[in-house]
Structure 1
Amino acid sequence: MAAPAAFPPPRRRRALVIHNPTAGGRRRAVLAEVVEALRRRGVTVDIQPTAGPGDATTLAAAASRARHDVVCAAGGDGTINEVANGLLRADDPPPLAVIPLGTANVLAIELGLPAAPDALAALIADGGEAAVHPAVADDRAFLLMAGAGFDAAVVHGVRRPVKRLLGKGAYVLQTLIETLRYRFPPLTVRADGRELTARMVVACKGRHYGGPYVAAPEARLGAGSVQLCLFHGGGVVAQARYGLALLRGRVATLSDVTVIEAREVTITAPAATAPVPVQVDGDAEAALPLHITMAARPLAVISPQAAPVTAPCPAPTVAAA
């Protein structure tokens, strides 16, 4: 019988894993494999499951480099968002690592994370750190996107039992439903002093949207701005065209889509319309109006796109919002 592989001492010896036990379904076995691979490498792993919304933020806000060298968010993009918000509030936050267990795992795609549990554990233990610059939607930071209008109506409409049953198919089904019933009211957008109108707005920090589909080719996680995608068309035909363009990575090239860079954005709807829903990193938020700014400090994220370094990213010293 072959002897277990011997590993050099890991760079990060203490990991806190904040785990959403409702995320992932069949992917939950991945978490056990990553944790086991970390322990084989000599990493001490503390696992903290969440009991409900907001728990991941509370747990991450209490994290400190004095106790842990890395905080791992194990769940979908919503759980990762909660952990990131907590780390931005922490006094001395460790870097963030991602163990993707969700439906779309957009941030994992954006970062180019390896799928194999052992490779992911190796990255968490010894990989480089990239500085990601979140944006803030009202008082909630986001790493990927914030949307207002049709896409947020889809997010609001998806029910958890249907999502557990159908996975990504739940969003496809809800998109068809919302295409027929959503009213597409005109939205007013003020971006760095410029005023525009649109039927749907998505502020993108990352290039990808809804999975491996590129919506904002110029967006960068480390940029101090968002790429603002304004969709001017409404109705069934326009949404079908946008969906096909998204699958082909050509949304930004459409004649009725405007993409601009901005650091401060305000989105409002006419007072006479029904409340226009908002989504942040794929989770349902409230409704317009929405004010988007850049977070006051970056967040260190473990990424295969970052060169390995011999010391952690400097801890930020300014509050996020």
Structure 2
Amino acid sequence: MIHNPTAGRRRRRHLESVVAAAQALGATVTCRETGRRGDAEDFAALASADDFDAVIAAGGDGTVNEVLNGLGAGQGGLALGVIPLGTANVLACEIGLDPDDVDSVARTVTFGPARRIHVGLANRRRFLLMAGAGLDAHVVAGVSTALKRRAGKLAYVVESLRQAVGYDFPKLTVRADGVEYEARMVVACKGRFYGGPFIAAPDADLATPMLELCILPNTGVAGMLRYGIALPLGKLPALPEVQVVSARNILITGPRGAPVQGDGDIVARLPAEISIADETVDLICP
């Protein structure tokens, strides 16, 4: 189990409760605490299938992403599990895991079946849930870690409003399986959910080798407010100007060096090649 010890006392107590419950169920748990960014990836890469059955990422979706990439660099054969301790916990929403239910989380990581899933690549960096460019990537790059700890999801709302006021919404050119689109924000989804329990790509499926591409063309604060209101209402994909298309290979071009977020962390820069990885991952689910 790989986790970040700076996540806060409340989350630390929650994690300790999950570990104790898993051990009571018969699991043998080896804990590794990260000290800096990249440790989770390194620890996962060094984990051996001779010694362990699974690597469990205890943290937010960004921690899961680091562990995912570490498993990709390792010898393979280890399943990936999650103890959700993050702000949005989008993966937990995707697999139907209640982050607050200690017994359910412990039982899942101990006995849960492993589901074979297809992951995405953004400039050769793995992602599990989504990769996006445009305003959302700038928000991810700019949001304060301290504010996230204090305000939770509200931190992203505050940063989105702050960014939207000064952001010039440059044009993004998106080529998806040979077809060209124009966008101001674009998100390539492997899962249905975005930003928490909000559905952005209803047809996305972790188990299928396909991406669902959400193309958002509107600019300005008014456009972002429109999308921001539609998303929690479950109406974003139904907006007339929003396009959701299926694709396996995507090229996004725009301002060179602009950030690309993957699973809630910055994982690449434009131009970005986004595709389905050849390898699959075994994901432990409830």
Is 1:293 the counterpart of 2:275? The answer is yes
Alignment of 1:140-179 (within 5 A): 140-179=125-164
**Partner residue in 1 for 2:82:** 98
**Partner residue in 2 for 1:27:** 11
| SS state at 1:135 partner | strand
Residue type at the aligned position of 1:248: L
- Write the distance in 2 (CA, Å) between the matches of 1:118 and 1:254: 39
- Write the distance in 1 (CA, Å) between the matches of 2:120 and 2:75: 19
Cα RMSD after superposing both structures: 1.3
Is 1:268 the counterpart of 2:253? The answer is yes
Whether contact under 8 Å (2:122, 2:267) holds in the other structure is no
- Write the distance in 1 (CA, Å) between the matches of 2:121 and 2:69: 10
**Among 165, 168, 184, the residue aligned to 1:199:** 184
TM-score if structure 2 supplies the norm length? 0.96
Is 1:131 the counterpart of 2:116? The answer is yes
- Write the distance in 1 (CA, Å) between the matches of 2:37 and 2:247: 30
**Among 203, 216, 234, the residue aligned to 1:218:** 203
**Partner residue in 2 for 1:314:** none
Shift of 1:54: 0.9
Unpaired runs of at least 5, structure 2: none
Is 1:277 the counterpart of 2:262? The answer is no
**Percent of matched pairs sharing the same residue:** 51
| SS state at 1:208 partner | coil
- Write the distance in 2 (CA, Å) between the matches of 1:155 and 1:142: 15
- Write the distance in 2 (CA, Å) between the matches of 1:41 and 1:270: 52
- Write the distance in 2 (CA, Å) between the matches of 1:155 and 1:187: 18
Shift of 1:65: 1.9
Residue type at the aligned position of 2:57: A
Shift of 1:64: 2.1
| 1:181-210 deviations in Å (ceiling 9; x for gaps) | 110011111111111111111001110000
Shift of 1:303: 0.6
Question: How many corresponding residue pairs?
Answer: 285
Shift of 1:30: 1.4
Residue type at the aligned position of 1:278: V
Shift of 1:26: 2.1
- Greater Cα shift, 101-110 or 84-93: 84-93
Shift of 1:25: 5.2
Shift of 1:125: 1.5
- Write the distance in 2 (CA, Å) between the matches of 1:64 and 1:36: 23
Is 1:73 the counterpart of 2:84? The answer is no
- Write the distance in 2 (CA, Å) between the matches of 1:126 and 1:187: 44
- Write the distance in 2 (CA, Å) between the matches of 1:153 and 1:132: 28
- Write the distance in 2 (CA, Å) between the matches of 1:291 and 1:57: 22
| SS state at 2:219 partner | coil
**Partner residue in 2 for 1:13:** none
Distance 1:270 1:37, change over 3 A: closer
| 1:69-113 deviations in Å (ceiling 9; x for gaps) | 121100000000000111122213311110000111000111111
Alignment of 1:223-262 (within 5 A): 223-262=208-247
Residue type at the aligned position of 1:44: T
